[in-house]
Amino acid sequence: MRNLLGYLKHYKVQSVLAPLFKLLEACFELFVPLVVAAIIDSGIVEKNVSYVIWSCVILAALGVIGLVSAVAAQYFAARAAVGFSKELRHDLFDKMQSLSYSDIDGLGTGKMITRMTSDVNQLQSGVNLVLRLFMRSPFIVFGAMIMAFTISVSAGGIFAAVIAVLCLVVFGIMLVSIPLYKRAQGKLDRVTVATRETLTGARVIRAFCQEEDEIAEYNKRNEELSKAQLFVGKISALMNPLTYSLINIGIIVLLYVGAIEVDAGLPQGKVVALYNYMSQILIELIKMANLIITVTKSFACAGRINAVLDMNSVMRSGEKSENGGNHFIEFNNVCANYGDAEMDALNGITFTAERGETIGIIGGTGSGKTTLVNLLPHFYDVSRGEILIEGVNVNALEDEKLRDMCGIVPQRAVLFKGTIRENMQWGKNNATDEEIYAAVESAQASDVIKSKSAGLDEQVEQGGKNFSGGQRQRLTIARALVKRPPVLILDDSASALDYATDAKLRHSLKHLDYSPTVFIVSQRTSSIRHADKIIVLDGGKMVGLGTHEELLENCDIYREIHYSQYEKEGA
């Protein structure tokens, strides 16, 4: 939590003024019982009407000043809390953007969404309440006790005893609640994950008529969350009845002792003042109970957010290669795995690629094709071996510089909400319409633009849902081509295209004027048969390397893949 308080550094003035105005309000509030006592003892008892009127004016003035102070405190506390959450979300989002694929895989998308939304909102509420009540409530409680001592030492002793017992109750419940709130927030993660998974896969769920099963699974997770929250809520709910009971017991004892002291000569107004001070303590302890509950939740959320902010990327960087190569791209005995997996996803991959070459990558499902191309832009780290670009280990290159060299079209074609032009300018912010149209032409997506009445200004829905699968794929390829990258990676990104369009696309890529090195991952041999080199993967190992004709002669797996498709394609 201490680290997170640094996000208030730009709101120091508001963070100081909010509690100061609350303290000012509290000071005036502590004077109210004394004024009431004076009205009774000096006004009503002595039948001094003018004194009563002036005292009532003073009470009204204290109320107005207190109201103005409370509104000012709320304003400054809200400004500080909202600013705190804004900067925290900004840094949290930056941190998530800086995490490697491996870190994101380990943390989970659902958990990151919960951290960014629910956890930050809970912290914002905690900061708001702390600025308003953290100093005010203790000030009122102990101020009332001190004022009670000035009236009667025996009554002050009752106040001290009640406050001591209340502190034990409040902090005891807080210590029990903190780990339970952490557990409840963890179950909220599961609900968020289930919700996101269901929304993302809605079409698949309906296609397989799994709605009832998904509803049942969601209800199960939601029920677990409800039970966890109800359990910790019941413990937290003990705060109010226990504080009410203790305060009322204290009031009974106070009235009993006060009655005895009135008989001994204590003015009646003083007893009323003592009662008012005890009532103030009751009200403030109720507020403090709510504050403690909110702060307890905030501490739980703060720990979860800190865990993300303190994450150190598992990616290695700054490593120099022992020997610079003579090739544009070199894979030297590269091995890779995911997390703590026992088996490598890739094992002993060695090959070279020159500028302008086309490298085809093929293999069965799970053979490591996507893993291989994800290593090149340093999305994942190699576990052994090295990858060199122009003789430099990719770990020694800045990720931004390395990825600027690469145009990447992933398996899942993703377009972002906005216009087609805005999507095309992701790779190059200042790309002109001429550059965009040239890339669109190369990606065989001209007909997509022409079919839209607004052209490049056509709106794109989230995920590109107002485009077909083939249109999305061609537009994402065009987006990668706009930046004219030296390395172009197409990860099975033409799977939705018909064979004629696929052939035109490959021909267009082969004749790009800046001659990029192209990596094509595909399940179809027709997509890579004209590649300069074809890598055949099986079980994470490279079982073939060569041209289409060479592999048909000496690679059984490639030959099997090709002829199984040859009959289907009729070519």
**Span 509-549, pLDDT tens digits:** 988 988 999 999 998 888 898 899 999 999 899 999 999 99
Residue 82 pLDDT class (50, 70, 90 cuts): very high
Structure tokens at 68: 């103005």
Closest CA to 475 of 549, 415, 541: 415
Tens digits of per-residue pLDDT, 367-408?
889 999 999 988 888 888 899 998 888 888 888 888 889 999
pLDDT of 301 above 50: yes
Question: What stretch of H or E contains 333?
Answer: strand 329-336
- If you average pLDDT over every residue of the chain, what do you get? 85
Mean pLDDT of 208-234: 90
Residue 314 pLDDT class (50, 70, 90 cuts): low
pTM: 0.69
- Cα 146 to Cα 163: distance, rounded to the nearest angstrom: 12
Tens digits of per-residue pLDDT, 484-515?
999 999 998 888 788 888 889 988 998 898 89
- Cα 345 to Cα 382: distance, rounded to the nearest angstrom: 10
Residue 102 pLDDT class (50, 70, 90 cuts): confident
- Cα 392 to Cα 387: distance, rounded to the nearest angstrom: 8
More confident site: 76 or 33: 76
More confident site: 105 or 334: 334
Mean pLDDT of 63-75: 91
pLDDT above 90 covers what percent of the chain? 31
CB 44 within 8 A of CB 36: no
CB 114 within 8 A of CB 247: no
Strands (E) in 364-482, as ranges, are: 384-389, 392-393, 406-409, 418-419, 459-460
Helix (H, G, I), strand (E, B) or coil at 324: coil
Cβ-proximal residues to 515 (8 Å cutoff; 6+ apart), any chain:
355, 356
Q: Name the phi and psi angles at 363, rounded to 5.
A: 165, 170
Provide the pLDDT for residue 436: 94
Provide the pLDDT for residue 570: 46
Tens digits of per-residue pLDDT, 410-428?
888 889 999 999 999 988 8
CB 269 within 8 A of CB 55: no
Residue 571 pLDDT class (50, 70, 90 cuts): very low
Structure tokens at 426: 């992701």
Provide the pLDDT for residue 493: 85
Residue 341 pLDDT class (50, 70, 90 cuts): low
CB 509 within 8 A of CB 442: yes
CA angle 183, 185, 188 (to 5 degrees): 115
CATH class (in words) of the domain with range 4-309: mainly alpha
Provide the pLDDT for residue 20: 92
Closest CA to 571 of 551, 548, 544: 548
DSSP 8-state symbol, 512? -
Q: What is the DSSP string of 94-152?
A: HHHHHS-HHHHHHH-HHHHHHIIIIIHHHHHHHHHHHHHHTTHHHHHHHHHHHHHHHH-
Q: Give the rounded distance of the alpha carbon of 180 from its chain centre.
A: 21
Provide the pLDDT for residue 569: 46
Mean pLDDT of 35-57: 81
